[in-house]
C-alpha cells in the first residue's frame, strides 16, 4: 500500500511542477460540497416523499378493495 501511495504522490508532485494541477481553496471546495450536499438532500427528500405517497396510495387501494 505504501508503494502505491508514494506512486500517486509522485505523479501529483510532478504534475504540480508542470503546472497541470489546480488545488482549490478550502472555501471553494466547501462551496462545491455544499451545493452537492444540498442537491443530494433534495433528491433523498423527494424520493422519500414519493415512496411514502406510493405506500399510502397502495394502502388506499387495498382498503377500497377490502371495503367493496
Does residue number 7 form part of the binding site for other proteins (CB under 8 A)? Answer: yes
* Grid-cell match 377500497, residue found: 64
Closest CA to 20 of 11, 29, 9: 11
4 versus 64: smaller Cβ distance to other proteins:
4
Among 17, 40, 49, 54, binds other proteins (CB under 8 A): 40
Check if the beta carbon of residue 20 is closer than 8 Å to that of residue 11.
no
- DSSP secondary structure code for residue 50 in this structure: H
42 versus 55: smaller Cβ distance to other proteins:
42
Which residues of this protein are in contact with other proteins, per CB under 8 A?
2, 4-9, 11-12, 14-15, 20-26, 28-33, 35-37, 39-44, 46-47
Amino acid at each position: 500500500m505504501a508503494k502505491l501511495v508514494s506512486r500517486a504522490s509522485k505523479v501529483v508532485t510532478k504534475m504540480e511542477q508542470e503546472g497541470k494541477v489546480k488545488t482549490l481553496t478550502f472555501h471553494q471546495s466547501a462551496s462545491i460540497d455544499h451545493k452537492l450536499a444540498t442537491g443530494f438532500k433534495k433528491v433523498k427528500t423527494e424520493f422519500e416523499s414519493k415512496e411514502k405517497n406510493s405506500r399510502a396510495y397502495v394502502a388506499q387501494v387495498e382498503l377500497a378493495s377490502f371495503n367493496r
